[in-house]
Amino acid sequence: MLEVKNLKKIFNAGTINEKVALDDVSLTLSEGDFVTLIGGNGAGKSTLLNCIAGVHMVDEGQILIDGKDVTRIPEHKRAAYLGRVFQDPMMGTAANMGIEENLALSYRRGKNRTLKWGISNKERDVYKELLSTLDLGLENRLSDKVGLLSGGQRQALTLLMATLIKPKLLLLDEHTAALDPKTAEKVLKLTDKIVEEGKLTTLMVTHNMRDAINHGNRLIMMSNGKIILDITGEEKRNLTVESLLERFGKVSGEEFANDRALLS
Amino acid sequence: MLNIILGAVSLGLIWAIMTIGVYITYRILGIADLTVEGTLAMGAAIAANSISNGTNPYLATLLALLGGLAAGLATGLLHTKLRIPALLSGILTMIALYSINLRIMGRANISLLNRKTVYTPFQNIFEKYNLSTVIYPVIAVGLITVMIIVCFLYWFFGTEIGCAIRATGNNPNMVRAQGINTNTMVIVGLVFSNGLVAISGSLYAQSQNFADIQMGQGSIVIGLASVIIGEVLFGKRNFFSRLIALVLGAITYRIIIALVLMMGMPANDLKLFTALTVAIALALPMFGEYLNTIKNSFRRRNNA
């Protein structure tokens, strides 16, 4: 479903701030894979996601989605294949527009925008039904501005928007990191449900080891722009935080020095 | 007195078209587009030049509209394709338009006295009823044009493309993630906005019976003042009421100006007056916060 070949991305090349964010990264996701991507600050997780989404153009390498080479395709055209949820709850929705207007925008992802009405009555019924599955009472607030919603509600809505049209690949960029623990858990539960029901191929970045272990069927760890661990199947199911830390130490020869990942 | 107010209303209706244009860029796209200073004069220049060459005044206004659309396109391309900051792109087009407008007119001003304008047919009607042929025709044409534009924009911003433009001004990252080319949306917004401003300029020149190269000077501030007055005084519940509020804002602005002039303010001080009004209006939210902190600190002191 997703094939990433020898990706290289250098920020501020040739300056004193030069940073190799992706160093020859290759990765293949099969259809239906739910991959959690973990790593410390600056490991290159978000850069990898942004390169796949087309926010950054890569310096070298190739990105194929469902066999189609998208390496040089601009972000807004790539969006036809991708569903995205961001770390910042403000990022995924238009705050000054209504809930239904936001949903209508994503209901047309990958289609040409025309002079037809931006939202139809038939759609409203669909949105109502989908929103009621979130169990947040949003189905009765269709025309409320999204800016009135809490961070958790906005992330749940963004998740719904990202999967309204089934994406070939769902990209979740630390989408629970800005939420309080209880809300984060709810959103993660919802994520599991949506991914499972839609059989979505998913790449979820997280800095929380427990979340990375408890979700998905495959775990990838990045460090210094490289993939250093790739754990699947039985091995992934038996993983614990301790064993993961131990394996990280063996592979990288250093301690996993990231309080955020350990404490949360 | 009534005539002064009605005169202000007629001017306000013409400038309401320009105000709606400024609203599209300033509020919907979040860009302060200075192109309008050149576009207003361009609308006036194209209309005056074509009319004095014998063109039908309605066709001349249509030509002015096309010129405005082109000016918006120029700024849009500078901003999105060449990645020049929006403010600077607007300034560049505005400066370029100064020379272009001079070329269109061939001189610094054109008189339209005794020429047929868009108001002429209406003047004939009002003449029959012994009503002022200066004010009422302008009000009639202004009202019709404003109504058409308000209805058109209400429809347009409800369409898929219109929604995409509104969202682009709100959160471009999200819009790109929904598969929309934000550059195109910004360009469309700028094109529409400047088209409206050019119509406004064309109607303004015809109502004043002349076009002048300086006509656009300070128009962005007048537009902003009208937008803010409209929003503060006439609310912003839904999109339709917002559009109406903009029209009322533009009229109110003209009435205020007419009144201060009547009270004896020298006309030369007008631009200073307008600039100060806008500065104060834009600063109001900050004053509000400041007042709140003072109030709260008093309350705390009283409670202690």
For A105, the closest of B156, B167, B173 (CB atoms) is B167
Q: Do B161 and A84 count as a contact with CB atoms less than 8 A apart? A: no
* pLDDT one-digit tens code per residue, A31-58: 999 999 998 888 899 999 999 999 999 9
Q: Do B160 and A108 count as a contact with CB atoms less than 8 A apart? A: yes
Whether the CB of B160 is below 8 Å from some CB of chain A: the reply is yes
pLDDT level of residue B287 (50, 70, 90 thresholds): confident
Domain match, B211 and B297 both: no
Mutate to test the interface with A, among B160, B173, B236 (most CBs of A within 10 A): B160
DSSP 8-state symbol, A201: -
Task: Please tell me the predicted confidence (pLDDT) of residue A263.
Answer: 52
- DSSP for B133-198? TTTHHHHHHHHHHHHHHHHHHHHHTTBHHHHHHHHHHH-HHHHHHTT--HHHHHHHHHHHHHHHHH
DSSP 8-state symbol, B26: I
Looking up residue B234, the CATH number of its domain turns out to be: 1.10.3470
Segment B249-261 mean pLDDT: 94
pLDDT level of residue A85 (50, 70, 90 thresholds): very high
Task: Please tell me the predicted confidence (pLDDT) of residue A262.
Answer: 56
| Residue A63 or residue B238, greater confidence | A63
Mutate to test the interface with B, among A76, A90, A108 (most CBs of B within 10 A): A76
Enclosing H/E stretch for A176? none
Domain match, B182 and B168 both: yes
* pLDDT one-digit tens code per residue, B99-142: 999 999 999 999 999 999 999 999 988 888 888 888 999 999 99
Residue length, chain A?
264
Domain match, B33 and B48 both: yes
Number of domains in chain B: 2
Mean pLDDT of chain B: 93
Report the distance separating Cα A33 and Cα A45, nearest Å: 17
CB atoms within 10 A of CB B294: 10
User: Which residues of chain B are within 8 Å of residue A80 when distances are taken between CB atoms?
Assistant: 179
Domain match, B109 and B19 both: yes
If you count residue pairs, one on A and one on B, with CB atoms under 8 Å apart, how many are there? 86
pLDDT level of residue B282 (50, 70, 90 thresholds): confident
User: Which residues of chain A are within 8 Å of residue B182 when distances are taken between CB atoms?
Assistant: 76
Q: Which residue of B has its CA nearest to A162?
A: B178
* pLDDT one-digit tens code per residue, B94-108: 999 999 999 999 999
Q: Do A84 and B163 count as a contact with CB atoms less than 8 A apart? A: no
pLDDT level of residue A101 (50, 70, 90 thresholds): very high
Report the distance separating Cα B20 and Cα B125, nearest Å: 29
Domain match, B176 and B281 both: no
* pLDDT one-digit tens code per residue, B151-199: 999 999 999 999 999 999 999 999 999 999 999 999 999 999 999 999 9
Complex ipTM? 0.89
* pLDDT one-digit tens code per residue, A117-137: 999 899 999 999 999 988 888
Domain layout of chain A by residue ranges: 2-81+167-263
Domain encompassing residue B290: 270-304
pLDDT of residue A240 exceeding 90, the answer is: no
Q: Do B181 and A108 count as a contact with CB atoms less than 8 A apart? A: no
Give the tokens for residue A69. Answer: 């080479």
Whether the CB of B235 is below 8 Å from some CB of chain A: the reply is no
Domain match, B166 and B304 both: no
Task: Please tell me the predicted confidence (pLDDT) of residue B300.
Answer: 75
The answer to whether B161 and A119 have CB atoms below 8 angstroms apart is: no
Superfamily of segment(s) A2-81+167-263:
P-loop containing nucleotide triphosphate hydrolases (3.40.50.300)
